[in-house]
Structure 1
């Protein structure tokens, strides 16, 4: 059964709400035959990455950068997973209080190494996530999970 790994750092109510919407989309009844594995960024391992078929990444934008937790995740898994995960689909969501462009730039730069394939438009939000943002997160989760359906 294909697996979707959701790696997240959700320290605020806003990032948590977006995370929950992503999970709801990934677990939608129309998505069949895909196991959703969720890991906090500080707990995700090389084995988690190697044993899954696609990735959803969630982070706050902290001072123009991805969270230290998500950076730690990449520092831990990047080289051990570089060749084995080439071309796998991924998506991401970012929440910030203001500018999120540096965070997105970092995510895209890091995922270029293993040539992960962006499988859906990202969800990028500032301020409190409204219904439109949460619906986009649900769609993001559903899209990534559906991409992996057998």
Structure 2
């Protein structure tokens, strides 16, 4: 049985963002990894889910140069209940951005700095028109986070 849990919180309002969420799940669930992976929508994620996780991968769209409303609502609901209990939690982010993703990245960086979560790498910004390579990039990000958590690197 897996000893560590990776929580993926993915805002997926379209078929393409659903593909990204599935790619994240598939990457983190690689058969060579012994890690428990949970995929949830932001609106379905409760503070207890975050408290039970050893790491968190967040996926969001960029809406009006900011994170999706559902993603913001996830942070609004979970911030204070997890603030003192999840400091240092490994964290990664992918943003499906029609524009440049800068506002979304900055806003999430500000929130996660307050939470004192540890980014394993810079945000993956999937910019511009849809490209199939986006799914591969998200799968690789999720696999990297899961492998690092399993190995105790993060």
Q: TM-score range by the shorter chain?
A: over 0.9
Specify every segment of 5 or more residues in structure 1 that has no aligned partner in the other structure, as ranges: none
The offset of 1:122, in angstroms, is 2.7
Separation of aligned partners in 1, 2:39 and 2:25: 9
Number of equivalent positions: 148
User: Is the Cα–Cα contact under 8 Å of residues 122 and 140 in structure 1 kept in the other structure?
Assistant: no
Instruction: Tell me the C-alpha RMSD between the 2 structures.
Output: 1.2
User: Is the Cα–Cα contact under 8 Å of residues 105 and 123 in structure 2 kept in the other structure?
Assistant: no
Higher relative contact order (CA 8 A, sep 6+): 1
Q: Which moved more, 1:116-125 or 1:55-64?
A: 116-125
Separation of aligned partners in 2, 1:111 and 1:28: 27
The offset of 1:50, in angstroms, is 0.5
Specify every segment of 5 or more residues in structure 2 that has no aligned partner in the other structure, as ranges: none
> Residue 72 of structure 1 corresponds to which residue in structure 2?
73
Separation of aligned partners in 1, 2:40 and 2:78: 13
> Residue 100 of structure 1 corresponds to which residue in structure 2?
101
Give the TM-score, by structure 1 length: 0.93
Separation of aligned partners in 2, 1:56 and 1:27: 13
> Per the alignment, in what secondary structure is the counterpart of residue 98 of structure 1?
coil
* Deviation readout 1:87-114 (Å, 9 max, x if unpaired): 0101011002223110011111110012
The offset of 1:134, in angstroms, is 1.9
* Structure 1 ranges of 4+ moved more than 6 A: none
> Residue 37 of structure 1 corresponds to which residue in structure 2?
38
